Amino acid sequence: MADALDRDILSISHRGEEFKSIYAETEMNLRQLLNIPDSHHVLFLSSATEAMERIIQNCVGDRSHHLVNGAFAQRFQTIARQLGKTTTTLTVPWGSGFDFDRLDVPADSELIAVTQNETSTGVALPETAIAEVRNKYPEPLLAVDIVSSVPFVELDYTRIDAAFFSVQKGFGLPAGLGVLIINGRCLEKSRRLQEQGISTGSYHCLEELVEKAGAYQNPETPNVLGIYLLGRVCRDLLKTGIATIRAETNRKADLLYRTISGNRSMAPFVAEARFRSPTVIVARTSVPSAGIIETLAKAGFKVGAGYGKYRGDQIRIANFPAHSPDQAAGLAAALADETGGSL
């Protein structure tokens, strides 16, 4: 941020050469970090929620199918309904993954919406499960929410039509920037809907976004600072190396899950180990979680409460690249103290 101020980035024109080179560098770094192929466009929006709306508007004429296992998957479906679409779902209880053998997508579904890492519950779908959905249903567009697993999650983008995230979680940046990654199938679908007289939105319809992205610009004045900061953070992460980041994330997650399992007043919320998210670790607590959160805060660790109805009896721990192994070890020690201490 200091560099951005020094370089006067808050005052540059979003049509000028300097902005274009910032945009180009951020896009290049992101492509390299996440291994995004040339078949896919990288578009800048204002949030992940906006990405859900753009995907529905541009890729669904009437019917979308949603895999719902928590609040964010639910939001995706709600947005589709608010936009007047017909939705079907495979709904499972919070904290569960899906039995993919039971997946039964109606034949007329135009899009399948999957939340790869459900932040409200700490359920992550294995990358292989997403590949299975694709294999079983090659025809509908496949859209994947990776907000709280990116850049950790390793996806084969050639097998996904749309993926999206915002930057305030795994990239540790200020909120206000969303990234939407789409392929030509999404763009074609959007054009077909327009031909049918169906609205695909206005300045942020895929066609306008893609056209401007080709010149390293946005239709509107975008979050210039956010785009610059994302490029810089990607550069830092590339220096560390994505393989190192992934291995480190797994090690920190193992430590935290082991600690939670060993604590008498806690247990992992996600019963099936293969669905436990490495990046959002949720523990249910047999004592009110507010007390645990307060104790941890005094030790210098800020963990989240449970989501929605689970506010009072869960804690949620972010395990992102910005959290160092030392910090994870410190948090694990503080969590272990919880058992031996007053609880």
- The verdict on 64 binding ligand PLP (CB under 6 A) reads no
Antiparallel, parallel or unpaired: β 123-124 and 141-145: unpaired
CB of 32 to ligand PLP, least distance (A): 23
- From candidates 28, 32, 49, 330, binder to ligand PLP by CB under 6 A: 49
The reply to whether omega before 151 is within 30° of 0 (cis) is: yes
How many CB atoms sit inside 10 A of residue 5's CB? Answer: 11
Q: Are 81 and 66 spatial neighbours (Cβ–Cβ below 8 Å)?
A: no
CB of 11 to ligand PLP, least distance (A): 26
Q: Are 248 and 323 spatial neighbours (Cβ–Cβ below 8 Å)?
A: no
- Footprint of ligand PLP on residues 157-216 (CB under 6 A)? 166, 178
Single-letter code of the amino acid located at 187 = L
Which C-beta is closer to ligand PLP: that of 115 or that of 259? 115
Give the distance, in angstroms, between the CA of residue 312 and the centroid of all CA atoms in the same chain.
25
- From candidates 9, 56, 80, 147, binder to ligand PLP by CB under 6 A: 147
- The verdict on 109 binding ligand PLP (CB under 6 A) reads no
- The verdict on 145 binding ligand PLP (CB under 6 A) reads yes
Residue with tokens 């496949």: 142
Which C-beta is closer to ligand PLP: that of 119 or that of 319? 119
- The verdict on 44 binding ligand PLP (CB under 6 A) reads no
Torsion of CA 60, 62, 63, 69, to 10 degrees: 70
How many residues of this chain bind ligand PLP (CB under 6 A)? 12
Antiparallel, parallel or unpaired: β 141-145 and 162-166: parallel
- The verdict on 305 binding ligand PLP (CB under 6 A) reads no
Residues that bind ligand PLP (CB under 6 A): 47-49, 72, 115, 117, 119, 145, 147-148, 166, 178
